[in-house]
Structure formats: structure tokens, C-alpha cells
A and B are shown apart, each in its own frame.
Chain A
Amino acid sequence: MIDIDLAEETLRNANKRMQGIQPDDNERSFILRNPRGAHAVAAGLNAPMDVTIEGHVGFYCAGMNKEAEVTVKGHAGVGLAENMMSGQVRVTGNASESAGATGHGGLLVIEGDTSSRCGISMKGIDIVVGGSVGHMSAFMGQAGCLAVLGDAGPSLGDSIYEARLYVRGKVDSLGADCKEKEMTAHHLDKLGRLLDRAQISANPRDFRRYGSARQLYHFKIDNVGAY
């Protein structure tokens, strides 16, 4: 276990150490202490490894994560795991705006709540939120899956493309071109597997599914109100 205290070591050195891990390195577990809200902690990781961060992180924690498993024992700031490609990021507390923004793959689990724009422009990432999400979540969501055990704030899935949304609690309002869709056995199965992967226990049957009405795929003047 490689123990790095960010009160003693610079963030640059810590990130460099983790980014520099070699395929034949046996030691691939890191603990980072005292992040104290620093930004870009564990950003740009590029190989299988596991990183535990003790404390609250600032913006862009685990940004563009690839293959690594990052766990934040605390809260995370704006843009958690933004543009993640693969691997897993988990936060035991809450996450701020734009969690999982433009993520292409991998699994993001937030055990608490997120604020607005969770999964904005998501491009294949899977996001599971144990609590609630704020407004404009999954805005322009292109692909991937967002599952929310709590509630969703206003304008859920505004301007959504093909991302799939599952919400267990109440939805304040749906955004442009987002509508409730049927939950079939296929969806129940997929959601069940996602929750299992996320190690979050909930019954898929308690969720409702939302997605694109596909009315904005080609410009029609009668839709002008939605623009």
C-alpha cells in the first residue's frame, strides 16, 4: 500500500506517481490523505490500480479516469470523474455539479446526493446515485445509464439523446423531449445488474424509466417551443 499524505507531498508528485505506474508494478494500491478540497486529485489515471482518498476533494477528482478504481471517502466537488473512459469511481458522500460529465464508460457510484447536471452530456458512462440528483441531470445525455434511488430535480433529461434514466423517487419535472417509458423485463434485468455492479441494494421494480421522445432529432418548426 502506497501511502501519500497531501499535506506533505505535492499533488503533482502524487498524480505523477499514480500516472507513472508500470504494467509490471506489483504495488498498485494507493491511499491519499488530507486532500483538503484540492482539485484534480487522481486525474488522468491510465491503468488498473486502486486509489482510496481519505477526505473531501475539490473539482475534477478522477477526471478522465481510465481503468483505475478510485474511492473518495468524503464529498467531491464539481466535475467528479468527468469524461471517465473506464474503471470505477465511488464517493461515499455527496458530489457537486456535473458529476460524470461527458463520461464515455466505466461506473460512477455516488452514495449520497449530487447537485445539478449529474451525467450532463453522458456518452456511455453508467452512474448510480444512492441519494437524489439536482436539476438538469442527464442534460443532452447521449448514451449510458443513470440510476437514481432518490429524487430528481427539475428538467431531468432535457434534450436527451439515447441515454437511459431510472429514478426511484419523484421527478420534479422532465426536460425537453424526455418522457417516461415502459419498464420491460429487459430493463429490469439491466437495471438489476447495474445496481449489483454498483453494490447498491434496491429493487428495480421500484424504479421508473425515462428517455428520449426523439421528437427533436430532426428540426421541425412546430417544436420551436422546445428550443
Chain B
Amino acid sequence: MSQQPKTPRTQPRSSSIYDAYALSEIRRAAATGVYDIRGGGAKRPMPHFDDLLFLGASMSRYPLEGYRETCNTAVTLGDRFAEKPIELKIPITIAGMSFGSLSGQAKEALGRGASAMGTSTTTGDGGMTPEERGHSTQLVYQYLPSRYGMNPDDLRKADAIEVVVGQGAKPGGGGMLLGQKINERVARMRTLPQGIDQRSACRHPDWTGPDDLEIKIHELREITNWQKPIYCKIGASRPYFDTALSIKAGADVVVLDGMQGGTAATQEVFIEHVGIPTLAAIRPAVQALIDADMHRKVQLVVSGGIRNGADVAKCLALGADAVSIGTAALVALGDNDPRWEEEYEALGTKAGCYDDWHEGLDPAGITTQEPELAQRLHPVEAGRRLANLLAVMTLECQTIARANGKSDVRNLEPEDLVALTVEAAAMARVPLAGTDWIPGQGGF
């Protein structure tokens, strides 16, 4: 038999748009007839803080000695109208996450870690638990469209109130919690039947728009004797206008959450395709504060993909007063840890990728209500881990600030930064490295 030469074939090539993920999602949709729900923030690549670099010290700019020469990290939030503003020792707070989406142990750990470092935690879409109030020296109480568990006693026990207009993962969407996580305690707190899927309200029930928000904020102040700062949290969407309107509505603090900000659960398409990146939201928000002569008078807290001290420093340099972490805090507690790899694989995923938190089967015991799983998280130890992360992020931020000659981290400014890409340069309004060019400023 003669050997015929094999016809050469082209290299197998997958489509960049019909990639493995897209194909698997289409198959899943076809099989189930249900949209995909998951937790977390936007995962696909987009311009972020890694695309910015600090310039550091040189011939014209001199650094501060580490440790010996102070670099202040304390910040006061909410001194515009409130009698008792929030005094933070570090410019990093813990973002709103609900008891219900998280276990009680996880909420306790967050409180312990934050309090150890002199910063605040925030309740979420389920109300305030006694453990949370007990373990947090400073607690921000969220005021959401659902009003689950809302009551004036907790409002008065809180240190600050955060009116939630939206969040970065889903600007325009409401809270979501599926039946598997609505156990007896959660059901009682939220006044829902146990085990059912919670539907979400995306608008507040008794106000719509900044003109009516002003009246609502006034009511909240009347109820709390004008003592507590009122924050306004918005998902990054139209940051300039949203910030300007929050100021006009009377907010003491604006919390801006970019699309990389996590959620407990929502539709995958909402997370990935609605809202804008954190990097793109900061300068417009700061500009609105400057235009209203309110920069540093109404504080700006930025969240959505803050992972380390460099991210913190960059947010501050762009004009924020503080940042908030959610995902990073959970990872510090033990979320998506490789020690549970076998269990992640049994769930059809991998450590570092697990995001089906709505199912309530979290091996790390964080985004679950199953007692056996939740027990895996030891609040004291996990709290210490969070405190460690906060300490490291703060030190990293100080290191960067000192290298740029700052004795206060909030003295970092946009001129300390350059960008690696045209997109990041345009969004952050800083020059492309090695050039004077800021795309979009001055004509082109």
C-alpha cells in the first residue's frame, strides 16, 4: 500500500467572540431557559488601575523617609451637616454586604477586622444584626429600595446612614437573594417566607429623583436628630451628574461603585454590560465636586476592584477621599481559597473562579447560610486576616505616597500619575507615559 501524504490542515482556531465561555453560556441557556445568575463584579478585562503608574521621586521631587517621617492616613467622613462625623484611621472601609448573602460568621469577621484597624463596616440588603453592631466600632447602615429590616432604632444605633441609589455591579437593579439562602433567620429579618426567591425592587418605594431625595434625606435627619452623616451610594453610570445631584440633594458623602464592584447575585449580563469601570468614574465625580466647590467638603468614597495599596493610592491621587473594599475583604477572610480546591471542582468550578454564591454552597463558609459550611469560617482568625490585609494596603499606600513626597496620603494628586494606555490616559485624565498628551483634554 502506498502512503499518501496527509493534506496539511490549518491550525484549529476558536472565535474571539464565540469563545469557550460564550459557547458554554449559550448551551447553558438552551438547556435551562433561565438567565445566568452569579455573584462578584465585572470579570472581563477593561482599563483599571494597573494601567496607571506613579512617577515617584526624582531630581525635582523629594521623597519622605519611611516610618520616621509621618504619612498621615486618617480621614473624616461626613462633616458637612452631621454633628458626629465618621473618623477613620485609614482611608479604606468595608463596603455594604448583607447578612443573608454572607453568613453571620463572615459579618462578624468583617466587623472585627475593620474595628482593629479603626475603620468602618457597612450593612447590606437585609438590615442590621446585633452581632454586626456589636463587632463594628463604626457601622454604616444602608437604606435600600427594599427596606428589609429597616427600623428607626437601628437607624439611631448606626454611626452613618448610606442611602443606596444603586451599586456598580447593577446600576438600576435591586437586591437578589434566592430561596436556598433564605433560612429561618434571614426570612424573619426580611419578613419573607422561608425558602422562596426574593424578588427585588429597583427603585425606592417613596421617592424618585434627587429633588425628592432631598426631602427624604431631610426626613432621615429629623429622625436621627441631625447627628449622623448621610452617604449616597451610586453605581458608576453618569458620575458627573450623579455626584452633582447627590450634593444638591444634601448628601454628606458620595460613595461611587464601579462595575468591578461585586454583588451577591444578579444576572451575568447586568454585571458585565451595564455600568462603567471604576477608573472611568472617578475624575468626572471629582470634577462635579470641584465645580460645586465641595471637594473635600463632601467626601468621595470609591469602590469597585480595589485590591491593594497601589489601587488605594491611585484612587486618592485622582481625588477620592477614601476607598471601600468588598471582594478583597472576602478573599482575605478566605473566599475562593485553594485549600477547598476539591470542593470547588465538585461544584464545577475552580478556586479563584467560584462565583455561584447565590446557591449558598460556599466551601469557604462565607457566602452561605448552611451551618456546617459557615462553621468553617472562624471569625476571630478571619478578622485578624482582614486586619492584616487592611494594614498591608495602608502601608503600601503610605509607601507610594512617601515616594511621591507626601506627608498625607490625600495629598497625592493626578499630576503624580501617568498612564500606560491611551484609554487609561483618557479615563484618568493623566498623560500617556513619556508624553504630555492627555487624550480628550484640549481638543483631541
Q: Which A residues contact B (CB, under 8 angstroms)?
A: 11-12, 15-16, 19, 39-40, 43-44, 46, 58-60, 63-64, 66, 78-79, 82-83, 85, 97-98, 101-102, 104, 117, 120-121, 123-124, 139-140, 142-143, 159, 161-162, 216-219, 221
B215 touches A60 (CB 8 A): yes
Closest B residue by C-beta to A19: B225
- Contacts A83-B150, A140-B199 given; does A121 touch B222 at CB 8 Å: no
A78: chain B residues at CB < 8 Å are 206-207, 212
Task: Tally the A-B contacts, defined by beta carbons under 8 Å.
Answer: 103
Q: What is the CB-to-nearest-CB distance from B179 to chain A, in angstroms, rounded to a whole number?
A: 6
> A-B pairs with the 4 shortest C-beta distances?
A44-B223, A221-B33, A79-B206, A102-B147
Task: Give A44 to B219 CA distance when docked, in angstroms.
Answer: 8
Closest A residue by C-beta to B151: A85
Chain-A contact segment, one of B157-165, B190-198, B300-308: B190-198
Let me know if B34 is at the binding interface, CB within 8 A.
yes
Q: What is the CB-to-nearest-CB distance from B17 to chain A, in angstroms, rounded to a whole number?
A: 26
Q: What is the CB-to-nearest-CB distance from A62 to chain B, in angstroms, rounded to a whole number?
A: 10
Q: A78-B212, A121-B205 are in contact. List 20 more A-B contacts (CB 8 A).
A: A12-B222, A39-B215, A40-B222, A43-B219, A43-B222, A60-B206, A60-B219, A63-B223, A79-B207, A98-B205, A101-B147, A101-B205, A104-B150, A104-B151, A120-B206, A121-B201, A123-B147, A139-B205, A161-B193, A217-B197
What is the number of residues of chain B that contact chain A, defined by CB distance less than 8 Å? 31
Among A11, A12, A83: residue with most chain B CB under 10 A: A83
Q: What is the CB-to-nearest-CB distance from B189 to chain A, in angstroms, rounded to a whole number?
A: 11
A39: chain B residues at CB < 8 Å are 215, 218-219
Interface majority SS on B: helix, strand, loop or mixed? loop
Task: Give A19 to B223 CA distance when docked, in angstroms.
Answer: 8
B201: chain A residues at CB < 8 Å are 121, 140
Let me know if B80 is at the binding interface, CB within 8 A.
no
Task: Give A46 to B156 CA distance when docked, in angstroms.
Answer: 11
A217 touches B196 (CB 8 A): yes
Closest A residue by C-beta to B37: A219
Task: Give A39 to B225 CA distance when docked, in angstroms.
Answer: 15
- Contacts A44-B152, A102-B205, A143-B191 given; does A218 touch B179 at CB 8 Å: yes
A104 touches B199 (CB 8 A): no
Task: Give A120 to B151 CA distance when docked, in angstroms.
Answer: 16
- Contacts A85-B152, A121-B146, A123-B191 given; does A101 touch B206 at CB 8 Å: yes
Let me know if B92 is at the binding interface, CB within 8 A.
no
A sample of 7 inter-chain contacts (CB < 8 A) reads A11-B222, A44-B222, A44-B223, A60-B206, A78-B207, A78-B212, A104-B150
Let me know if B89 is at the binding interface, CB within 8 A.
no
A64: chain B residues at CB < 8 Å are 151-152, 155, 223
B407: chain A residues at CB < 8 Å are none
Q: Which B residues contact A (CB, under 8 angstroms)?
A: 32-34, 146-147, 150-153, 155, 179, 191-193, 196-197, 199, 201, 205-207, 212, 215-216, 218-219, 222-226
A16 touches B207 (CB 8 A): no
Q: What is the CB-to-nearest-CB distance from A57 to chain B, in angstroms, rounded to a whole number?
A: 12
Task: Give A101 to B208 CA distance when docked, in angstroms.
Answer: 14
B146: chain A residues at CB < 8 Å are 121
Q: What is the CB-to-nearest-CB distance from A190 to chain B, in angstroms, rounded to a whole number?
A: 19
A16 touches B225 (CB 8 A): yes
B192: chain A residues at CB < 8 Å are 142, 161
A218: chain B residues at CB < 8 Å are 179, 196-197
B215: chain A residues at CB < 8 Å are 39-40, 58-60
Task: Give A219 to B226 CA distance when docked, in angstroms.
Answer: 43
Q: What is the CB-to-nearest-CB distance from A184 to chain B, in angstroms, rounded to a whole number?
A: 21
Task: Give A121 to B215 CA distance when docked, in angstroms.
Answer: 20
- Contacts A102-B147, A161-B193 given; does A120 touch B205 at CB 8 Å: yes
A120: chain B residues at CB < 8 Å are 205-206
Task: Give A18 to B242 CA distance when docked, in angstroms.
Answer: 35
A124 touches B223 (CB 8 A): no
- Contacts A97-B206, A124-B191 given; does A40 touch B152 at CB 8 Å: no
B34: chain A residues at CB < 8 Å are 219, 221
Task: Give A227 to B223 CA distance when docked, in angstroms.
Answer: 36
B150: chain A residues at CB < 8 Å are 83, 102, 104
